[in-house]
Copies of this chain bind each other. A is one copy, B any other.
Amino acid sequence: MSRVAVDAMGGDHAPAAIVRGALEAARELTDVELILVGREDVVRAELDGDALPPRTRIVHSADVLEMHESPVEAIRRKADTSIAKAMGLLARGEADALISAGNTGGVVAAATFALERLDGARRAGIAAPFPTQKGHCVLMDVGANLQAKASDLVEYAVMATEYVRSVMDVASPRVAVLSIGGEEIKGGVLVRRAAEALRAVPGVNFVGNVEGQEIFSGDVDVVLCEGFVGNVILKASEGLLEAFVQHMLGRLHAELEAGADRHFERALDEQLEDLRSRTDYTRYGGAPLMGHAGAIIICHGRSPATAIHHAVVAARRFVERGVNERIARGLAALATNEEVAAILGGGA
């Protein structure tokens, strides 16, 4: 039985979409115990007078962390936000996993304050799945850890490998370090040192350095970078996609007014909507925040109910398949790997 705490108050469509998606998942997955964290009256109002389904309960919290608030400051100041309360359940072992579509900085801050690091993990990192021409590619980190050391990227490789293997069912995830073209400028010290160390980690299928376009080619499963870089790529991809969709819609609807069949217009709209959703990482179960002693899934602020549903499925897999236990074993092996230590040195 996996106990999954869901932040019912976080997200643009909270609480309605969050509660609906979580309840859908709980009805489907009979081995999941669902804990809805938020203002009890508000959450109950979403039930439309129905009783709570079996294996579901509400944990009340009075406050909400707003999207526009400074996360660290708000987490310190507000005693009883839904995200802090949910993180507390995880910290005390009363839940195994946490899902939030709220302020990402707030999730990271709450985890930093309340949770232990996973054994052997020096840094947390967010792994965001991107759509590719063939499947998905996980980019890690997309913003938990602004500036990374080479040793952080090596730890991320261990974490992302286990996540992709266990939750996304890729037998031997191909791992690459994000770099740029040109021999002389190939990513600098961070990239060179991380790549050298990764070749010496037996549990990681390191395939070399890749440039930005490879995130979407489908030829690798995990791309490693520091948080600032990953975050701007994530946001730029969203912006480009939106511009692209708007452009297509504008031009093609103009064509349609000039006379073409309605069947096709409908098909086009469906394809564009499908594309929007494919590039929205919540459809792949959200982005795990890894490196903490707990399973944490961050969902996009715009998450609809289906995204929350998928996140519950991913959280359950994360717990059942023992992803954190596997990562801890991988990090323990890393800590005693003398070749890696020699490459990374003291200040890596």
Contact = CB atoms under 8 A, between A and B. Distances in A.
Interface of A: 70-73, 104-105, 109, 131-133, 143, 146-147, 178, 180-185, 187-188, 211-217, 225, 227-229, 231-244, 246-248, 251-252, 255-256, 259-261, 263-264, 267-268, 271, 274-275, 278-279
Contacts of A244: 241, 244, 275
A213 B233 contact: no
Contacts of A237: 212, 236-237, 240
A272 to B, nearest CB: 8
A264 B271 contact: no
A252 B241 CA distance: 18
Contacts of A252: 267-268, 271
B229 A72 contact: no
27 contacts: A71-B183, A71-B184, A105-B184, A109-B184, A133-B246, A143-B181, A146-B187, A180-B228, A211-B235, A212-B238, A213-B242, A214-B239, A216-B236, A216-B239, A216-B240, A236-B236, A237-B237, A244-B275, A247-B275, A247-B278, A248-B271, A251-B271, A255-B264, A255-B267, A261-B264, A264-B264, A268-B268
B260 A264 contact: yes
Given A143-B182, A214-B239, A216-B242, 18 more contacts: A71-B182, A72-B183, A72-B184, A104-B181, A105-B182, A133-B242, A143-B181, A146-B185, A181-B235, A211-B232, A212-B234, A212-B238, A212-B239, A215-B240, A232-B233, A240-B240, A240-B279, A251-B271
Contact of A215 (B178, B212, B239): B239
A188 B241 CA distance: 27
Nearest to A268: B252
B260 A143 contact: no
A243 B104 contact: no
Given A248-B271, A264-B261, A216 B243 contact: yes
A213 B188 contact: no
A72 to B, nearest CB: 5
A217 to B, nearest CB: 6
A243 B211 contact: no
A205 to B, nearest CB: 21
Given A232-B225, A239-B216, A248-B271, A73 B183 contact: yes
